[in-house]
Amino acid sequence: MITPIQWIVSDDSLAAAIEWASKKLNYSIDRPNMNARDISEALDDKIMGDIATIAVAEFIRSRGYQAVAYDQIRNDSFQEPDPGWDLAIGIKGLNEWARSTSSPKLPPKEKCLTVSVRSSRLVRDEPISEAISQRDFKIFALNPKNIGTDLTADIETQVYYPLANSQLNGRSINHENVVACCSDRSNCNEILSKLDIRNRYGECTLTAWDYSNRIHHYSQSIRTKTWSSFGKKMWIAPLRNGMSFESIFQELSKFGNKI
């Protein structure tokens, strides 16, 4: 049985997520068939995703393990595509690698697992138990012939936000707010306030995780492999096949001592 975890994200982490999202905004390319978005919605979606990544990182660190977000250590001024993972999580030595590496896309496999963090809003504010039993890891079928090409990290995770509370509801920012945030994190408070980030995204649910190779194996075992969401193809990858977040520490312990 999967036991979800409610997580409250720290204020410093909310500011970091806003800064990262702002720096990515001008260099991001929307997925094919994605609905047109104005600057406020585009930034808000990125902030939601980056807060989810940080929430998972905070949870891992809370148990004494190490977690490094790619956005923390990237050296491309946020201009290039990410390497297919959001976090590296592992044992002692991972933080040292992060501080000294000149190749941030290549984490030390002997010390960590790479993590893809998927984030979404609950459908109609359904109970999280219903989402676990009926929903999938939110993996876009960019290559609908082979899920393997869309599974680019060692493990997949899913984070949910409540639907009603997380709606943008006409809140807006402007280009000047984004530029200011990029220049100094303290300026990100303007975006935090205007988009009401703390109340809308400050709490989320860490739902489930699974190894990508297990998801791949399941996909190969079923006849119908994708479903459509507002015109976008998604892989069938049931959350119920995954595992509780607490169990991830059993996997990390295989790398050795956490400290």
Looking at residue 217, its pLDDT comes to 98
How far is C-alpha 179 from the chain's CA centre?
A: 24
pLDDT of 46 > 70? The answer is yes
Check residue 29 and give its pLDDT.
Answer: 60
- 43 burial level (CB within 10 Å; 0-12, 13-18, 19+): buried
pLDDT at 258: 72
Residue 31, pLDDT above cutoff 70:
no
- Contact indicator for 62, 85 with CB cutoff of 8 Å: no
Considering the chain, what is the average pLDDT of its residues?
Answer: 94
Kind and range of the H or E element at 186? none
Residues comprising the chain, all counted: 259
Q: Residue 195 — pLDDT band, cuts 50, 70, 90? A: very high
Whole-number pLDDT of residue 34 = 55
Decide if pLDDT at 97 tops 70: yes
Residue 233 CA to residue 2 CA, distance in Å, equals 26
Distance CA 169, CA 48 (A): 15
Is the pLDDT confidence value at 30 over 70?
no
Q: Does the pLDDT at position 170 exceed 90?
A: yes
What per-residue confidence (pLDDT) applies to 257?
A: 76
Mean pLDDT throughout 80-85?
95
Mean pLDDT on 22-30:
83
Share of the chain above pLDDT 70, in %: 97
